[in-house]
Amino acid sequence: MILSLIGVALLVVGIVLGIKFDYEVSDWIKAVCIIVGFIFTVVCSTLIAGSNIGLDSSIASWQAKRETLVYQLNNHTYENDNNIGTVELMDRVAEFNGVIESDKAYRNNPWTSWVTSKACMYVEPIDIEEYQN
């Protein structure tokens, strides 16, 4: 969010410098402000749009992953003769929880909140202790 606002501010400063202070400020300062502000604004707008387009499908995807892992934990599908599946399932649960918590941290950060998908806010991490015997 803050990066988007910095980009817009640079763009506005460059335009104001170009219009109001035509002869008092050098041309390269005006050009740099306008170019950098424009690039920041375009990049941030693209990232914001990309994180919000398809939000419903992202939420559904994360919920489906969570339900699959919870189903396996509930039904003990990972148990077999030598418990190889246990390690794999716990790794997948840990990876899932790590991604969700990381996305939530980025979502709560004022520097990155606009460019991070909201899908993580609708999905809870898996508490493995609930599914232990």
Confidence category of residue 67, pLDDT binned at 50, 70, 90? very high
Least confident range of 14-28, 58-72, 116-130: 14-28
61 and 112 belong to one structural domain: yes
Confidence category of residue 109, pLDDT binned at 50, 70, 90? confident
Which residue carries 């339900």 as its tokens? 67
66 and 16 belong to one structural domain: no
106 and 66 belong to one structural domain: yes
19 and 60 belong to one structural domain: no
73: pLDDT strictly greater than 80:
yes
CB 128 within 8 A of CB 95: no
CB 39 within 8 A of CB 7: yes
Q: Domain boundary residue among 10, 26, 53?
A: 53
Number of domains in the chain: 2
41 and 72 belong to one structural domain: no
77 and 114 belong to one structural domain: yes
CB 94 within 8 A of CB 30: no
Range(s) of the domain holding residue 96: 54-133
pTM metric for this prediction: 0.68
Predicted pLDDT at 47? 80
